Amino acid sequence: MAYHGDVLPEIVVHADWSVDPRKRWVCRATLNHDRTYQIVKPAPAGDLDVFFRHLVVAAGEAGRILAGFDFPLGLPAAYADQVGIDDFRKALVEFGHGVWREFYEVAATAQEVSLFRPFFPLRPGGKGAYARSQLAAGLGVHHFDDLQRQVDRPTSCRPAASVMFWTLGSKQVGKAAIVGWRDLLAPALAATDIGLAMWPFDGTLQECMAAERITVAEAYPAEYYRHLDLPLVRGGSKRRQQSRIASGGRLIEWAAVAGVRLDDALQCALREGFGVRPDGEDPFDAVVGTCGILNVVLGLRPPFDPDKRSIRKVEGWTLGQAPPGHEEGNTSPRDQYFDRPGAVSKGPVD
């Protein structure tokens, strides 16, 4: 069963992202002639200059691609309001140029933080060298949490995601976002030979997939642990091989129920938990991300297309994440954030 019973992408991929190229892994699912998907074992992301072009070749003539990334797509509304950004997609091609020339240069000191240089700090310092309040003050907000997007806030399924502009600590995502925005997405948006839609900024998921060959979306494996009922949501650590083995068995079960094929190499890797090394978490999360996206593509979970303009055009959303108050399985919310799941948006609601 396809999302809306309409467009099925020929290729679905999820990239587990990092500022370190060695930790960027991509898992791919391909649509077969019988209209079922087959997922293959993850591989390194490779050269970003040709990332999308290789996918276009693999998808074939006019084939559609849905690509998920686990770095943020969007900006906190509190920040965007101050700099006059009302469309993240348009702003993305401007970052790094003109008044935004220092945007991607991570501030080394609190004094260097500004609305046009929002990422901080450049390097770890001694204990207490940097404070979150310094970033908040530099960006003109009262509290550090004001720099969270709605989608970053804690839910009943998971803790809060990291504030994108804070680049300190093991959970920071800012430096990975810089690489994803500057080196992958902005060049692709500027290219004349790549048709790229960004969900939800360019419309509903269905509208994006119908309009362009490639649709990119924010996809968060930690969000998908509960969607797929992985043991990790009950306290397991994805850095431990045994936790990955237990969750791998669950992914194999999910695939059987969903009618998704897993190639032999992937099944073997899942049963072995991607090896004993802690960095087995990277290809493991790439698989989780792909399964989470397929859960939406196959109609097993709504995409939750945002309808509120500040989310739809500025802050963005995670594909398949339920709106506030509906995380525990209620998949038909009607509130200020979202239109009906699966329904085509009637336009912005402010």
DSSP conformation letters of 208-227: HHHH-SEEEEE--HHHHHHH
What pLDDT does 239 receive?
Answer: 85
- How many CA atoms within 13 Å lie on the side-chain side of 261? 11
pLDDT tens track for 294-334: 999 999 999 999 999 999 999 999 999 999 877 654 333 33
What pLDDT does 335 receive?
Answer: 35
Residue at token pair 């929002």: 118
Of all helices (H) and strands (E), which one includes residue 198?
strand 196-198
How deeply is 26 buried, as exposed, middle or buried, from its count of CB atoms within 10 A (0-12, 13-18, 19+)? Answer: buried
Considering the four listed CATH numbers 1.10.3430, 3.30.70, 3.30.420, 3.40.50, the one that applies to the domain covering 3-72+178-297 is 3.30.420
Phi, psi of 309, rounded to the nearest 5 degrees: -60, -40
d(CA 203, CA 349): 13
DSSP one-letter code for 160: P
Q: Strand 37-39 relative to strand 214-218: parallel, antiparallel, unpaired?
A: unpaired
The three-state secondary structure class of 39 is strand
Q: Give the chain's residues under pLDDT 50.
A: 1-5, 329-350
What pLDDT does 350 receive?
Answer: 30
Q: Helices (DSSP H) in 37-196: which residue ranges?
A: 51-59, 77-83, 88-92, 132-138, 174-179, 186-190
Which structure tokens are listed for 43?
């591989």
Is 84:68 a contact under the CB 8 Å cutoff?
Answer: no
The three-state secondary structure class of 306 is strand
Which pTM does this prediction carry? 0.91
Phi, psi of 186, rounded to the nearest 5 degrees: -60, -45
What pLDDT does 248 receive?
Answer: 96
CA distances from 288 to 113, 277, 292 (A): 36, 18, 6
- CATH 3.30.420 boundaries in the chain: 3-72+178-297
